[in-house]
Chains A and B, each alone.
Chain A
């Protein structure tokens, strides 16, 4: 029970060596999972990811994987949607099904006392969904409602516009929800195709945390996932990034402009990844003390919050960010952003580096707080291809970053000439020249 917080001990005055508590489990049927056993609360958090997600939509079928995912809890085997929900709620089990650019995510919480029944129900949802005609129409209506709502949401418009500019003809360029037209046109066959394309054993990652033993987990996995097809649809190739410097304005009637920006990022396995990660923490990270927060919020009161982040999609890497500011101050705020981008290219001070390192190394173990959060971290580590002892070495990699490393990566990474800024609103004082 101690070992799962191994990383924290690196922070303490007397470093302790605890046993690695993440177990690498292989089921009798050959399925892999990472497990942290903790028997103090009688439930198990289970996280399953299928790589591919909405990027597996067949040509002309945009939105199929998303709609299919939304239908997994709408009836399975002999149960219609009502019966399925009644059974799940009667067991007090909790299932969530989500899709994103890179995966279909299944999150479950199951009580120990009825885990067998809950897992059986989840198995039926994953392997024998019904996709009944009335359920398809109902969930299609919900998806269309979201699409129409996002069409009038400034943040959603900004994200979609930036994706469209950045990703060319790659699936990443458009929303995985699909368009009103594409979703209207989806048939039950399209949904069945999306199901066999997206949920397959060759792309599954599993983490479990809680009141379950390796043997119990192995048996559960074979039962849960054994009935899925061996292979799914091929993944899309790498996206060719098409980002140039400059501002794109999308006229929208709102008092506050949303500003989203992006430039090319860095591969997760790049030797300078950690230096770039620390650099971003200094420029636009999670702290109130980041440069963007200091300059835009604390000094000038131009925004409620500003952030930047490294995005590591499976098929593209970005350095991106977002803030919102009054239309009247949009020009001024974008000028500040550009000045900070230019300054970032020059590196950081020793004090900034030290403060970022203390924060990042201290904050990391605090993330491991509860069965659900730990399971999500562990499944993410597997999808990123990190080793099982990563959490024990991650802070050492942060500590090892030097000012020279940051200078080197800043020169290479920060590209004002490829920083595309999308402004949704009716901004004033904005120069659209690069």
Chain B
């Protein structure tokens, strides 16, 4: 399949803004590797990203953290490379390389001068199937990951708090498991688990290659055929079907105290629909809802009511995250002003939501957000790595290239009625978790 679309065509409805994003091409190799090429010829630079459709939500129960653990192990030895040599090769080319893991995907990327792309594909293809693990390597890297957990999570009470909040949001779906893993399960991860995981999921038919920058589709195709074409797909790749949520009938509430907390902090998450292929309208409406309620620290409804008119909060916020395979989340929260009791602040916040559901959005605010979303496409064209991530996020969460390209227009087509319908659906406390992170003194 070959499908070339110039994204600018999608903007015919709004001709006042020219769009600069270059053409996007996608095709699939015979072994199942999907390839997306995003052209941006402003600079002789290219980024290669290899996205695997495997993340923390795909882990076997009791082995939380293995997807992320594996991300680290991918920088170790293959039959051709010594441990660490992968990064040495990228760095010897002046490139940067790194990787990240999320619930729905694990991705590896390198930024290099565009004429080094062939070498990057050589080594990325090598480690897709030929990694060679030893017990020593696994043991040392496990310690690095425990230090990473220490640094990112255990040293930061707000990270610990959000980990607890998430675990309470999902009653059955593995989105409730932290990406880095629960400490006691990280400690138990060994070579055998890692190798099983690798053999199954690191395969061309479970991956998406995105190449962005000063490249042409024909050259990328030829290189990809040469380096990735010979790799064997995994037969009988497990279908990505995670345990789904039962009806959520009971609001959940958490309170956490930590002596490292300086002042109370509230966060509430609601289970929300995700972006779905061919059906992104509700998700787009929820983007507006997030912006209307808490997108701007000045003009959003929460900021106006809680920080300006009758100040109860130092900060307030709201946002929607819907690029996920199974569920999105809608998040709101605040830091109350010193002296304002948490329950008083929360009652004010719920009052704002109630009024909003009764009266709907201010038309002027709605129009501003539409303009900003439109303009954000112009600013986005300045960041080709960001464009590549858009496609990677989408294609590893069940969306298609066409969905990504339709998204800006879907956003422009949202009406205030769409927003209200989505708001009534999502802002239901039975589907929510409300958490307060409090100082030790608040525990009394």
Contact = CB atoms under 8 A, between A and B. Distances in A.
B376 to A, nearest CB: 8
A42 B18 contact: yes
Contacts of A41: 20, 378, 381-382
Contacts of A86: 299, 364, 368
Contacts of B141: 301
Interface residues of B, number: 71
* Most chain A C-beta atoms within 10 Å of own C-beta, residue among B93, B311, B382: B382
Contacts of A5: 43-44
Interface in A52-101: 73-74, 81-82, 84-86, 89-90, 92, 94
A304 B148 contact: yes
Given A43-B379, A255-B155, 12 more contacts: A5-B43, A12-B113, A82-B304, A90-B367, A138-B311, A151-B262, A256-B147, A258-B155, A288-B91, A301-B143, A355-B91, A362-B92
Nearest to A111: B375
Given A11-B94, A301-B141, A363-B95, A288 B113 contact: no
Interface of B: 16-18, 20, 42-45, 75, 83-84, 87-88, 91-96, 111-113, 115, 139-148, 150-152, 154-155, 259-263, 296, 298-299, 304, 307-308, 311, 314-315, 335, 337-338, 364, 367-369, 371-372, 374-376, 378-379, 381-385
A102 B276 CA distance: 48
A109 B379 CA distance: 8
9 contacts: A5-B44, A86-B364, A138-B311, A145-B314, A301-B143, A304-B148, A326-B146, A363-B96, A368-B43
A301 B83 CA distance: 14
Given A255-B150, A288-B75, A299-B140, A359 B94 contact: yes
B92 A355 contact: yes
B368 A89 contact: yes
Given A12-B113, A41-B378, A368-B43, A362 B94 contact: yes
A296 to B, nearest CB: 9
Interface of A: 1, 4-5, 8, 11-12, 38, 40-43, 45, 73-74, 81-82, 84-86, 89-90, 92, 94, 109, 111, 113, 134, 138, 141-142, 144-145, 148-149, 151-152, 154, 253-256, 258, 286-289, 294, 297-305, 324-326, 355, 358-366, 368-372
B94 A369 contact: no
B262 A94 contact: no
Contacts of B91: 287-289, 355, 358-359, 363
A145 B263 CA distance: 8
Contact of B147 (A253, A301, A362): A301
B147 A325 contact: yes
A8 B115 CA distance: 11
- 4 tightest CB-CB pairs across the interface, nearest first? A362-B94, A301-B143, A92-B375, A85-B298
A363 B87 CA distance: 13
Nearest to A358: B92
Nearest to A297: B144
A339 B181 CA distance: 33
A299 B141 CA distance: 9
B113 to A, nearest CB: 6
B275 to A, nearest CB: 23
A358 B151 CA distance: 31
A361 B94 contact: yes
B140 A300 contact: yes
B20 A89 contact: no
A370 B383 contact: yes
B155 A92 contact: no
A145 B314 CA distance: 8
A369 B386 CA distance: 12
A300 B139 CA distance: 10
Contacts of B384: 369-370
Contacts of A1: 42
B93 A362 contact: yes
Nearest to A5: B43
A298 to B, nearest CB: 6
B314 A369 contact: no
B438 to A, nearest CB: 13
A113 B75 CA distance: 47
Contact of B88 (A11, A145, A255, A355): A355
B192 to A, nearest CB: 20
Contacts of A85: 296, 298-299
Contacts of B372: 89, 92
A364 B299 contact: no
B151 A256 contact: yes
B20 A42 contact: yes
A141 B141 CA distance: 43
Contact of A82 (B44, B84, B298): B298
B113 A254 contact: no
B55 to A, nearest CB: 20
A359 B43 CA distance: 19
B155 A256 contact: yes
A94 B379 contact: yes
A149 B263 contact: yes
A146 B354 CA distance: 30
Contact of A89 (B18, B112, B113, B296): B296
A216 B379 CA distance: 20
Given A289-B91, A298-B83, A362-B113, A148 B150 contact: no
